[in-house]
């Protein structure tokens, strides 16, 4: 697929490898593709939802804008 990703039937398709980054003593972070951030209209400081599903997959969802406003309050 490529770094920029593709939009197909209103869905952003991206596949990329990311390196885990150590943050502090007990946490890790991973960067998100800029194309997805732009596609979802996100910016620095916005909140995303992280879900670990029944298959142990990690799913990251952009929160709807009204939830983002509540989270920032």
Instruction: Kindly state the helix (H) or strand (E) to which residue 6 belongs, with its residue range.
Output: strand 6-8
Is 21 in the same domain as 48? Answer: no
Residue 15 has, within 13 A of its CA and on its CB side, a CA count of 1
Give residue 2's pLDDT: 46
Mapped onto helix, strand or coil, the DSSP state of residue 50 is: strand
Is 7 in the same domain as 35? Answer: yes
**How much of the chain exceeds pLDDT 90, in percent?**
56
Instruction: Kindly state the helix (H) or strand (E) to which residue 5 belongs, with its residue range.
Output: none
What is the reported pTM?
0.67
Q: Note down the domain range covering 69.
A: 44-73
With a cut of 70, say whether residue 48 has pLDDT above it: yes
Domains held by the chain: number: 2
């Amino acid at each position: 697929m490529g770094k920029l990703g593709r939009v197909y039937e209103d869905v952003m398709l991206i596949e990329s490898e990311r390196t885990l980054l150590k943050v502090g003593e007990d946490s890790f972070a991973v960067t998100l593709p800029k194309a997805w951030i732009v596609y979802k209209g996100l910016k620095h400081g916005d909140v995303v939802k992280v879900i670990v599903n029944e298959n142990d997959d990690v799913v990251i969802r952009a929160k709807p804008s009204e939830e983002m406003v509540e989270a920032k309050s």
